[in-house]
Amino acid sequence: MRIQVRRTGGFAGIERYAEVDTSGRSDASEWHALAEQAVAGGRSTPPVGVPDGFSYQISVDGRTVYATDPRLTDEQRRLISRVLKEGA
């Protein structure tokens, strides 16, 4: 499973991108469950965010959803944090 996160917006407007490929990882099932929950809570079109807030594009195996701060689900927040921290 390939999980991609693109973060845009914020005060400085700096874009950040990272991705994780779960193939061969010992924790792949944990990533899969979290990714499925995060995508289920996303929108198919970019929602309107708050001024200086972050907007996110989450793609899991070609399926893309959108989310914004401060309306992230717990699963989206955890997935985004993990991908941006561990991804390349």
**Tens place of pLDDT per residue across the chain (88 aa):** 999 999 999 888 899 999 999 999 999 999 999 999 999 999 999 888 888 899 999 999 999 999 999 899 999 999 999 999 998 7
| Per-residue model confidence (pLDDT) at position 67 | 96
Using alpha carbons, select from 60, 56, 59 the residue that is nearest to residue 8: 56
pTM of the model: 0.92
With residues binned 3-state (H G I as helix, E B as strand, rest as coil), the percentages for the chain, rounded to 5, are 30, 30, 40
Q: Where are the alpha helices (DSSP H) in 1-88?
A: 28-40, 74-86
| Per-residue model confidence (pLDDT) at position 59 | 97
| Per-residue model confidence (pLDDT) at position 68 | 94
